[in-house]
Amino acid sequence: MSLQSSEWFSHKGIECSRVKAANDAFPRHLHDEYVISANLSGSEEIWLDGKTASVSAGQVTVYNPTSVQASKFGGDSVEFVSIHLSQSLLSSIASQQNLRSSNAAPILYDGVLNNPELHQAICRFALTARHGDPQWQQQDLIVLCGELLDPHSEHDKADQPAINAVKAWMHDSLTVKPQLDMLAQVSGLSKYHLVRRFSQQVGMPPLQYHMQLRLHRARDMLRKNVAPLEVAMLLGFYDQSHFINAFRKVMGTTPQHYARQCRFSAE
């Protein structure tokens, strides 16, 4: 038998885990919170409400509070990420962001789901909850809850002027670290609808988009022989390591190395 939790942590009362398992099982049990999992690899068999179902890589499982559930893992290794959300937290976010909820505690469609957007939202929140900036954590939690409560939201062209206003503000504010509350005020939308509509129209959430703009400006400044430390300060990165990590994630190299290569190519 082989069952190990390779990673477990709690972020502001939200529990996240990353589990690898083979030739083992979770017996029938229940949780008093929502459990949302993204299957990363392998397959498992679940039992829920008297029915069994197979879960493959790329699929999502959703369990409502107090649902009796069980899981069985075969010989091939299975890996999945799980997030535990309290009823009060999901209800609060649903109310704050004007998401649909006809119950004091929302009842989710549970079982096995084919929802790539929700799968991505689970993985992204688990990553930012562990290592990310608080504003990114808030953004990704709002997106996750939105995917759970409003999975079929359509693109609304009426929001285009609001998104354009946010993009214009971002292009003019590269030295400012934006807050979601601030961007919501610029757009006139709730934080959730801002993030959802912005992602639909632009292709990425607003905070990631603003980071891309800052890094593009950083690259231009490095090409003009501005020192990396000065670039970091001028563009509002809170320390040099934050700038280095963000730059390397996009460019595949450090600002210092990029600047050196630019100087060499100019000679």
Q: Where exactly does CATH 2.60.120.10 map onto the chain?
A: 2-133
Give mean pLDDT, residues 27-44: 92
Half-sphere exposure of 228 (CA within 13 A, CB side): 19
If we measure between CA atoms, which residue out of 180, 115, 184 comes closest to residue 141?
180
Q: How many CA atoms lie within 13 A of 49 on its CB side?
A: 10
Model confidence over 226-258: pLDDT tens digits?
A: 999 999 999 988 788 889 988 988 888 899 998
DSSP letter (8 states) at residue 40: E
As its CATH architecture, domain 2-133 has: Sandwich (2.60)
Which pLDDT does position 101 carry in this prediction? 53
Residue 9, pLDDT above cutoff 70: yes
DSSP 42-74: S-EEEEETTEEEEE-TT-EEEE-TT--EEEEE-
Residue 154 has pLDDT above 70, yes or no: no
Q: What stretch(es) of the chain map to CATH 1.10.10.60?
A: 153-267
The span from the CA of 140 to the CA of 81, in Å, is 15
Q: Residue 241 CB: number of other CB atoms within 10 A?
A: 10
Average the pLDDT over 170-185 and give the result: 92
Most confident option among 81-95, 135-149, 208-222:
208-222
**What's the CATH superfamily of 153-267?**
Homeodomain-like (1.10.10.60)
Tokens at 191, concatenated: 């934080």
- The pLDDT of residue 5 is above 60: no
How does residue 76 score in pLDDT terms, banded at 50, 70 and 90? confident
197: buried, middle or exposed (CB in 10 Å: 19+, 13-18, 0-12)?
buried
